Amino acid sequence: MLERLLASTAEAEARQALLSHELQVCTSVADVYPKIYMGWTYRHWIVQQLDDVAALETEVASGSAWLRRHVSDHAAAQHHQGVLCRLSARLSAAARRCFAALVAECWLRVPAPLADDLDRVRAMWMVEWELLNDLQSRYPGHETLWCHRRFLAAASFAMQSLFSSEPLGTVGNVRCS
Q: What is the pLDDT of residues 32-58, one digit of tens each?
A: 988 888 999 999 999 988 888 999 999
Model pTM greater than 0.75? yes
Q: Which of 139, 147, 142, 149 is nearest to 169 (CA)?
A: 149
How far is 110 from 24, CA to CA, in rounded Å? 22
Taking CA atoms, 158 is separated from 83, 116, 169, in Å, by 16, 17, 10
| Beta-carbon count within 10 A of 24 CB | 10
Which pairs count as long-range contacts for 89-93, CB under 8 Å and 24+ apart, including other chains?
90/51, 90/53, 90/56, 91/53, 91/116, 91/117, 91/118, 91/120, 91/121, 92/116, 92/117, 92/118, 92/121, 92/162
How far is 102 from 155, CA to CA, in rounded Å? 7
Can you list the alpha helix ranges (DSSP code H) found in the chain?
Answer: 2-8, 12-32, 37-47, 53-69, 74-91, 93-99, 118-138, 143-158
Give the pLDDT of residue 172. Answer: 42
Give the pLDDT of residue 158. Answer: 86
- What one-letter code names the amino acid at 63? G
Give the pLDDT of residue 115. Answer: 76
Residue 177 above 60 pLDDT?
no
Pairing between β-strand 174-175 and β-strand 170-171 as defined by DSSP bridges: antiparallel
How far is 175 from 142, CA to CA, in rounded Å? 19
Q: What is the pLDDT of residues 123-154, one digit of tens each?
A: 999 999 999 999 999 999 999 999 999 999 99
Q: What is the pLDDT of residues 64-121, one digit of tens each?
A: 999 999 999 999 999 999 999 999 989 988 888 888 777 777 777 788 787 788 889 9
What is the 8-class DSSP label of residue 169?
A: T
Give the pLDDT of residue 170. Answer: 44
pLDDT band at 5 (very low <50, low <70, confident <90, very high): low
Give the pLDDT of residue 168. Answer: 38
Q: What is the pLDDT of residues 6-36, one digit of tens each?
A: 555 567 788 888 899 999 999 999 999 888 8
